[in-house]
Amino acid sequence: MLRPLMLVCAITLFAQTASAITLHIDMTPELVGDKGVVMKELDQNTTRFIIRISTQGDPAVVDPRFPFVRTGTLKVAGAQGPILRCRIQPVESGHDLLYTFDLENEHAKRSTFVLDERVADGLVGGGKVYSYRLIDFIDPDHRAKEFLQNLRPVKLPQIDFSRLPPPTDQDAPK
């Protein structure tokens, strides 16, 4: 009797699947505010980007039992596609982390900074991924411009209303 019970327990233990939800968030100037992403022109061709992340609400600060991992990755692209992918190490400034990098203006328009936050509990997945498309901060109206550029006028077919039958008295409102 004990053997079947142990078998059922073992199957139940190994048959369970772990699931974790990863939340992907596209960061925009409206979500970040005026202090979240700062751009400084270094010269005519290069811009310095500073992305400020607050650490006050980190799980490790709220409850030290949850070790917290945060990684920042810069994905640089050019007209021909991806050029480089690298980690950016933050600098602490009070209750904030500053991710700083310099990019050539043409590459910045096609590049993305990705911030990955998760609890380091050994599980696969889970946490939050924040994507900062740099073009959103360089030119906040670029999405509307793209939409208008891709908008094509559609010519509707002409309708000859003279060929329609006249309305009958039965269709008239009462």
With beta carbons less than 8 A apart as the criterion, state whether 38 and 142 touch. no
Residue 125 lies in a domain: yes
Residue 155 lies in a domain: no
Q: Provide the number of structural domains found in the chain.
A: 1
Mean local confidence (pLDDT), 112-125: 78
Q: What is the pLDDT of residues 64-99, one digit of tens each?
A: 676 778 899 999 998 888 999 999 999 988 888 899
Separation CA 55–CA 59 (nearest Å)? 9
Relative to beta strand 37-41, strand 46-54 is antiparallel
Residue 160 lies in a domain: no
Domain that holds residue 73: 20-59+66-146
Residue 157 lies in a domain: no
Residue 104 lies in a domain: yes
Q: What is the pLDDT of residues 136-152, one digit of tens each?
A: 888 878 777 777 777 77
